[in-house]
Amino acid sequence: MVKEIADFEKDVARSGVPVVVDFWAEWCGPCKLLGPVFDKVAGDKALAGKVAFGKVNVDEHAELAQNAGVLNIPCVILFDKGEEVGRMVGFSGEAALRAQIDGWLKR
């Protein structure tokens, strides 16, 4: 399940597991391509309990994007206890996204 992130402290920093966050916007073509891929990876039962997934609409929550240093979208960031662990900018297919998340989780 993918949660819409509105409160970084509550939804990300205090999460019991690392959180992968997709920063996106309605008007962004590559974001529209990444959305279904992100949702599919988020639904992977093998990742359940290991990592949570969230999305931030940068137009609705510009301060969250600014605080995370997001300059380009789509931007996928893994946070652990509120700290950035890894970042991927631009559209990536399912295999690349899965590989990136797996690599981040092994750190």
Looking at the annotation, which residues are catalytic? Answer: 28, 31
CB 55 within 8 A of CB 21: yes
Alpha helices in the chain (DSSP H): 8, 29-42, 62-67, 94-105
CB 91 within 8 A of CB 30: yes
Q: Determine whether 87 is exposed, middle or buried from the number of CB atoms within 10 Å of its CB (0-12, 13-18, 19+).
A: middle
